[in-house]
Amino acid sequence: MDLYSGYINKLIEELSALPGIGIKSAQRLAFYLINQPVENVQRLTDTINQARSTVRYCSECYTLTDREKCPICSNTARNHETIMVVENPRDLAAYEKTGKYDGVYHVLHGAISPMLGIGPQDIKLKELIHRLEGDVKEVIIATNSSLEGETTAMYISKLIKPVGIKVSRIASGVPVGGDLENIDEMTLLRALEGRVEL
Ligand code: ZN
């Protein structure tokens, strides 16, 4: 990596630390940025800074938003008694795209993975339990069908069932290990409609 000047090396290093960006892509991006007009690069860095400093977790469902409450949680027309639990904001977006779900969400920001050392305390689980003190009739667990997603679903259902709230799991029409965001809307809808009570 000593082929280029220190600043180029530093830029490549920073870019390659981003998820999904290998060293080759990082080099390509770095050279692309260097060749852009200064104001374009400025706009990009401004946007990143603005997003980073204003985007935060919704105080209710923990999705990303730039307000205290996200548009879904602030929408009184939504059914606030049904909470769909998803692993990340991208999964929420996938279900929103179907346009057929009128409940609210809870974003865990991860899944339990003993292998990776991610425990229940590392995801937004106690925040979910806290929400159940309100008026909640059903919790739909829509974590991925990966080992981690299933482990998390089991854990949540064991936690919630004694409280007397209906707990259901989306149907297993969703391919094993498939990220929810890569699944088409029809499959998601079928998974939601075919959910089974745990
Ligand atoms: Zn929200």
Domains delineated in the chain:
6-54 (1.10.8.420), 69-197 (3.40.1360.10)
pLDDT at 149: 92
pLDDT at 181: 64
| Distance (Å) from CA 159 to ligand 1 centroid | 22
Distance 61 CA to ligand 1 centre (A): 4
pLDDT, residue 172, reads 67
Residue 174 pLDDT > 60, yes or no? Answer: no
Beta-carbon contacts of residue 178 (< 8 Å; ≥ 6 apart):
144, 145
In angstroms, what is the span from residue 115 Cα to ligand 1's centroid? 30
- pLDDT tens for 53-71 read 999 999 999 999 999 999 9
Report whether pLDDT(2) > 90.
no
Non-local CB neighbours of 81 within 8 Å, separated by 6+ positions: 103, 135, 136, 137, 138
What residues does the ion ligand 1 have nearby, CB within 5 Å? 58, 60-61, 70, 73
Measured in Å, residue 85 CA sits from the centre of ligand 1 at 12
Q: What whole-number percentage of the chain has pLDDT above 70?
A: 92
This prediction's pTM: 0.78
186 C-alpha to ligand 1 centroid (Å): 24
Per-residue model confidence (pLDDT) at position 5: 79
- In the prediction, which pLDDT does 173 show? 54
Cα 36 to Cα 41: distance, rounded to the nearest angstrom: 7
pLDDT in tens, 127-153: 999 999 989 999 999 998 888 999 999
